[in-house]
Structure 1
């Protein structure tokens, strides 16, 4: 693969985005506040650390316990409740009453533009794309490789009714063969109603880019997902910022927050949250239950792969946070005490 092939598809006509308060005169999307971009000196420091800093326990030394799921099992889930299933990293399968939704589907072996190098999965997905039921909607948070996966989108093309994503991202999936009529772009604070489910794009503090020339040419987002039976929040990738309080005041309380808790580091603290910050975001959002995501599947930082879980357990015990740590593939059905209890205090990563 040549370097030029890593460049993402970009929209030549930026007129639809000129009314967005996140879009600037330079043709790039921005955060609510100024975030320090990765300067050459910072990138050099990160590369130097990658080459010489000793990493310990950044990947499991044995198989991660999974719960395999089948299409039959999924179809038998309650049609009047919300069920949540972690498939790995930030990939979430939802059954919202009678609808099936996927968030940030990544089924590839690597979170990388290459098939032969880059972060490799610790575990296989608990279900294959072929075995998934028909999907009412796919939600994409941003275009990084561990969230927007070419292989997965192409495989899902004929199985999904709607693709919902932040501004600027549609050109990429349309280039991969998705019917434009299936794709909806949203700016922050915009919503779309699909039968009984309302999807709202909300702010996040992050960045975008898949190559060397498309930095921040597409928007990133967190998401509010409100169905007849539940109110959910999905953070995507984000640093901690005041926007969580605004989202919580406007759309909370949330039955469940799915918050990024992994791949944090001192060198990129403005665009990824530490476990302490994830816990604070949960409080700001007025969340009832917290599901840490963005962990347990890929080695993307310098901390141990178990650190996000261990820190969150300690913080949750101290701050009385209702923490859920289900195994990959384990079904968690809200308003079902047995199902929720089964997702607490598992310590499966040990």
Structure 2
């Protein structure tokens, strides 16, 4: 089956030979960095009574990190889930290092689930079915959702849809997609800009560093929050074409012109070779090197909540 989608620079998924070298050859040869499968990652109990009621118009956006790339974003009376993966494991094999910030059964009413792309650590069909909300995602995802009893709405890059009073925009990322053996790049990947009356929030989805951050920042100036991935980057020769390291994430934040940085995509699942707890330390070092204000960077504990609004 021919590839349908490509990145802005024309690139597609990595060649199988590169995947095999990382996953098999280098592992057998002992060339891969070794790190424990577990680590201590901060986790707090969420205030479920507060989360039960989304902020009203004018009160900004409440952001709750659920672990990995999963977020509860609440604004203008609306509750959205982004990339909800709230089970104990993905694909049975890769188990959570830290429990989800809010279990599915304790979530507030969800108005829509936003799914950035089809990789299993971002599109978890059992979680989405348990939530039961309308799904907003990229083009080409009908084969996943048809017959599942879920309503879904597909968007191309730069298209948008309404969830109540909130506008949801789908924007490019530098990544790829595959869910089966023969569907490489048949389903579009991207990120989201969630826009309400008093806050504008960007979630990058999975992405490498790319020039698209500057265009997103130009189209959506003064983003109040940028939710950016800082993990799954080692080894760089393989991962940098699809994921960012913390230093690249900081550069992406600068390109976006956003007000506040929120770290994600670290500490939850052991997907790559770096230690699970290394990304925040590298982020902190890069922030310090640049001399930027500490109150603009947030590494929330899993289950932690922060509210942003237009300055």
For normalisation by structure 1, the TM-score amounts to 0.81
Give unmatched runs, 5+ long, in structure 2: none
Alignment of 1:96-135 (within 5 A): 96-112=75-91, 115=92, 117=93, 119-135=94-110
SS at match of 2:90: coil
Do the aligned partners of residues 77 and 167 (structure 1) sit closer, same or farther apart at CA in structure 2, a change above 3 Å counting?
Answer: closer
Q: 236, 249, 257: which is aligned to 1:278?
A: 249
Do the aligned partners of residues 77 and 198 (structure 1) sit closer, same or farther apart at CA in structure 2, a change above 3 Å counting?
Answer: closer
Q: Which residue does the alignment assign to 1:203? A: 172
User: How far did 1:54 drift?
Assistant: 5.5
Do the aligned partners of residues 264 and 72 (structure 1) sit closer, same or farther apart at CA in structure 2, a change above 3 Å counting?
Answer: same
User: How far did 1:303 drift?
Assistant: 0.9
Number of residue pairs matched by the alignment: 302
Query: Within 1, Cα distance between the matches of 2:230 and 2:54?
Result: 28
Q: Which residue does the alignment assign to 2:189? A: 220
Query: Within 1, Cα distance between the matches of 2:79 and 2:270?
Result: 29
Query: Within 1, Cα distance between the matches of 2:259 and 2:66?
Result: 22
Query: Within 2, Cα distance between the matches of 1:281 and 1:184?
Result: 28
User: How far did 1:154 drift?
Assistant: 1.5
Q: 39, 48, 60: which is aligned to 2:25?
A: 48
Q: Which residue does the alignment assign to 2:155? A: 186
1:32 partnered with 2:14: no
SS at match of 2:269: coil
**RMSD (CA atoms):** 2.1
Q: 311, 315, 332: which is aligned to 2:306?
A: 332
Query: Within 1, Cα distance between the matches of 2:49 and 2:308?
Result: 20
Larger RCO (CA under 8 A, 6+ residues apart): 2
SS at match of 1:189: coil
For the 8 Å contact 2:199–2:309, the answer to whether it is kept is no
Query: Within 1, Cα distance between the matches of 2:39 and 2:124?
Result: 26
User: How far did 1:282 drift?
Assistant: 0.6
SS at match of 2:18: helix
Q: 59, 63, 70: which is aligned to 2:37?
A: 59
Do the aligned partners of residues 138 and 295 (structure 1) sit closer, same or farther apart at CA in structure 2, a change above 3 Å counting?
Answer: same
CA displacement 1:280-322 (0-9 Å, x = unmatched):
1111111111011111100011111122101111111222152
Alignment of 1:150-169 (within 5 A): 150-157=125-132, 160=133, 162-169=134-141
Do the aligned partners of residues 138 and 205 (structure 1) sit closer, same or farther apart at CA in structure 2, a change above 3 Å counting?
Answer: same
For the 8 Å contact 1:70–1:127, the answer to whether it is kept is no
User: How far did 1:77 drift?
Assistant: 5.7
For the 8 Å contact 2:230–2:246, the answer to whether it is kept is yes
Alignment of 1:51-90 (within 5 A): 51=28, 52-53=30-31, 55-62=33-40, 64-69=41-46, 71-76=48-53, 78-79=55-56, 80-90=59-69
CA displacement 1:43-62 (0-9 Å, x = unmatched):
23112233434544443345
Give unmatched runs, 5+ long, in structure 1: 1-9, 11-25, 338-350
For normalisation by structure 2, the TM-score amounts to 0.91
Alignment of 1:261-340 (within 5 A): 261-265=230-234, 266=236, 267-319=238-290, 320=292, 322-335=296-309
